[in-house]
Structure 1
Amino acid sequence: MRVVAAMSGGVDSAVAASRMVEAGHEVVGVHLALSQSAATLRESARGCCTIEDAGDARRVADRLGIPFYVWDMAERFREDVVEDFVAEYEAGRTPNPCLRCNERIKFAALLDKALALGFDAVATGHYAQIVDGAQGRELHRAVDPAKDQSYVLGVLTADQLARSFFPLGDTTKPQIREEAAARGFAVAKKPDSHDICFIADGDTKGWLTRRLGEQPGPIVDTDGDVVGQHDGAFAYTVGQRRGLGLKVPREDHAKRYVVDVQPRTNTVVVGTEELLGVDVVVGDHARWCGPPPTGEASYGAQLRAHGEEVPCRASSDGETVTVRLERRVRGVAPGQSVVLYDGTRVVGSATISRAERRAQQS
C-alpha cells in the first residue's frame, strides 16, 4: 500500500514510520506545518511544529530512505482548531483541541489530501490498536494504559479507520524508545510534547485573555451573592478550585469550586464540592467508529483524556447521545467529550452539551 506517515519530529511518529517501511509499504513522510509563525527551537515539552521538529522528522526520513515533504496546513489548523478553541471557551465551554485536531486535521484534511494524491492510507504514532472485526475495522485501546490515546481518536469514523494505521498500539513507550535507539534515531530520547500544542507556555488563561481581552465580572455563590471578581468568565471551567481569588469565605470555610460558567452575563458561579457530581451526560455531534448503537446498552464512559472509565447505560438517536453513569463523576463541563467503550473497543464519541444529576441514585 502507498502510505503517508505523519511525522511530527518526535520518537513515536519516527518509529511508526519505520514500522510501516519494515512492513513493506511504500511510505512517504509528511510533516504538518500547523503554526503560522513557527519557532526555530522548542522551548519546552509543550508546543510542536517548530523548525527543529521539522528537521528532526526529515533526518528520520533520510535515515529510512523515504521521500519527505512538509505540508502547510497552518490556515486550516487556525480555523478548525485554534479559533474553535477560542469560540468554545468564549461560549463557556471547555473544549479538547486534540480531538478537534484529529477529527479535522489529521484524519480529515491530511487523509483527504493523501487520498486525492493517490495514497491508500495514513499512519500516525498514536497509541491505539485497529482490529479486524466481524463488521469491519475496529478501534481499540493500546496495550500500554499509561499512553493509550484511543480517547482522542474516538472522533474517527469507520471510513477513516479503514484507511488508518496505528503501528504502536501493541507496544509500551519504553519499548518504543529502545527501538528508536536501536534504529539510530536521534529523537530516541526526545521529550514527549504535552498539553495544548499552540499554547507553548501552558498559560491557557493568559493566552485566552490576550485573544479576548479582559472582561471583568462577578463571581457569585449559588445564592447569587457576589463573593469575588474575575477578569473574564471565559478563563474558568467547571470543577476549577485554584486561582479563584474569592474575597468572601464561607462561614464553614468549606472549599468552593466553579460549578457553572454563564457567558451571557459574564458570571462565574461557585459552590461546594458535592455540587460537582453528575450522573447524566447528554452530548451532541455524535461520531461512530463503526455501526451506531441501537437502543440502550451497557458501555464504559470516559470523560477525560486520561480519566477513569465509568460503567454506564447509553442510548442515541444518531446525533444526540444520552449517558447514564452508574456513579457520580465530578467536574464534567460542556464542551468536553464523552467516549464510549465496549470492553477495549471504542464505540464512538459525543461533545457534552449538558451534565445533570438524578434526584436519586439507581
Structure 2
Amino acid sequence: MSEKIIVGLSGGVDSSVSLKILHEKGCNVEALFMKNWDEDDENSGCNAKEDLEYAEDACKKLNVKLHTANFSDEYWNNIFLNFIDSYKKGLTPNPDILCNKFIKFKVFIDHARSLGAKKIATGHYAKIASENSRFFLTTPKDSKKDQTYFLHTLDQNQLSKVIFPLSDIEKEKVKKIAKNFGFKSYDKKESMGICFIGNKKFKKFISSYIKNIPGEIVNENNVVIGKHNGMFYTTIGQREGIGIGGMKGAKNLPWYVYKKDLENNKLYVCQGNNNPLLFHKSIFIKDLELITDSIDSILERNLLCQVRHLGEKYFCSIEKINKNLFRVDSNELIRAPAQGQSLVIFDDNKCLGGGIITNG
C-alpha cells in the first residue's frame, strides 16, 4: 500500500474535493478534522459542530477514516495571544498567516506523523514545485482564489510534506465536482474574515480582550476634528467606522485613516480615496523569511510585492538596511500599507517569501 496521506478536512467544499481527488487517484488517504477555537457560536462563522457534520458526510461518502483533534491550546498560545498583543500596539496583524505557519503546517504535520503519515494535504489554492531538490511555492491555476499570500512563511521542510490537490483546478469546477458527488458542502457558504471572529462584530469581539483608550482624530493640517474609541479599531486605509460625518468647510468626500501615532494615541485622517497621503513608493519590512532564495540573491532585483491577499502586485526592488530591516522600493504608488501586515514578494508567479511591514 502507498504511503498514508492525512487530508485536513474543514467541512468546506475545497478540502472535501481535495480528499475526493486523492482518493480517486488511489492514494492511501485518511482525514483529520481540526478544532482550533473552543468557542462555538452558530452566528460567528465558526460553528465547529456543523463543520464536523460536513466533514463526516464527505468521509462517509468516500469510505475514508476520519480523525479529530483539538489544537485550541496551541492556537491560543501561538496565534491568538500574538494577535491581541499586536492590536494593543496599534498594528494590523494577519492571524491566518501565523495559523498556517504554526498550526496547519506544523502542529498538523506533527499530528499526522503520529498517525503514521509522512505527508498531509489541504484544500488551499496554491502550487508546489521542486527544482534541484528545493521546493518552491507558485500561484495556482485559479488566480481569483490564490492563497500564496497566506502561505508565504512555509519553509522547505513543510513544503516537502504538503500536497495541494486544487493547484490546477478552478473553484467553479471544484463546486461542480462536489455537487455531482453529493457532498453536503457543495453549496456551503465560504468562511469570511478571521476564523475566531467570523461574522461577529469586530469591535464587540476585540473590546472583550483590549481596553479602550480613546484619543484624538486629527486631519492632515494637525487640527483635531473628532475622537476615536481606541486605536485598535482602525487600520490604515480604513473608511468605515471612523466616526466622522460631514463637517462645515470640509470637502464632500469620505475620510480615510492614513497614519496612526501610537505614542500619542492620535489617529490621522485625510479625505478622498485617492488622497496622496494614502500612497507610498517605499515600505519598510522586518522579519524577512524566504522559501528558497537567499536574502542576498533577491536584493536589487526586479520583483513584485503584494501587501494584501488578492491585492494588486507592484513592481519593486529590495534594499537591505540592516540585519532585520529592509526597504521595498516601487516605481508605482502602493495604497495604504499598514504596520503589522505582511508584504509578500514574488518573482513572476513564484512566491519568494515576505516580511512584516514596519516603520523605517
TM-score norm. by structure 1 comes to: 0.90
Contact preservation (8 Å) 1:12, 1:125: yes
Contact preservation (8 Å) 1:158, 1:288: no
Aligned residues: 351
- The residue number in structure 2 matching 1:360 is none
- Superposed displacement of residue 166, structure 1: 0.6
- SS, match of residue 322 in structure 1: strand
Task: Indicate yes or no: 2:47 matched with 1:33.
Answer: no
Distance 2:21 2:244 in 1: 53
Match 2:218 to one of 196, 214, 220: 220
User: For residues 58-207 of structure 1, what are the structure 2 equivalents within 5 Å?
Assistant: 58-134=56-132, 136-207=134-205
Contact preservation (8 Å) 1:333, 1:354: no
Distance 1:84 1:53 in 2: 26
- The residue number in structure 2 matching 1:301 is 305
- The residue number in structure 2 matching 1:208 is 206
Contact preservation (8 Å) 1:228, 1:247: no
- SS, match of residue 297 in structure 1: coil
- Superposed displacement of residue 164, structure 1: 0.6
Q: Summarize deviations over 1:276-333 as a string: whole Å, max 9, x none.
A: 1111122122222213242321111111002011111124577544311121111110
- SS, match of residue 302 in structure 2: strand
TM-score norm. by structure 2 comes to: 0.91
In 2 relative to 1, CA 318–297 (structure 1 residues): closer, same or farther, beyond 3 Å? farther
- The residue number in structure 2 matching 1:332 is 337
Q: Summarize deviations over 1:157-212 as a string: whole Å, max 9, x none.
A: 12211111110010111100111122221211212111112113342222222321
Letter in 1 for 2:270: G
**Identity across aligned pairs (percent)?**
29
Which structure 2 segments of 5+ residues have no match? none
Match 1:322 to one of 324, 327, 336: 327
Structure 1, 124-133 or 314-323: larger mean CA deviation: 314-323
- Superposed displacement of residue 21, structure 1: 2.0
Letter in 1 for 2:316: C
- The residue number in structure 2 matching 1:5 is 7
- SS, match of residue 210 in structure 1: coil
- The residue number in structure 2 matching 1:261 is 260
Structure 1, 332-341 or 247-256: larger mean CA deviation: 247-256
Contact preservation (8 Å) 1:154, 1:346: yes
Distance 1:221 1:14 in 2: 50
Letter in 1 for 2:35: A
Contact preservation (8 Å) 2:193, 2:199: no
Distance 2:98 2:289 in 1: 12
CA-based RMSD of the aligned residues comes to: 2.1
In 2 relative to 1, CA 78–250 (structure 1 residues): closer, same or farther, beyond 3 Å? farther
Which structure 1 segments of 5+ residues have no match? 356-362
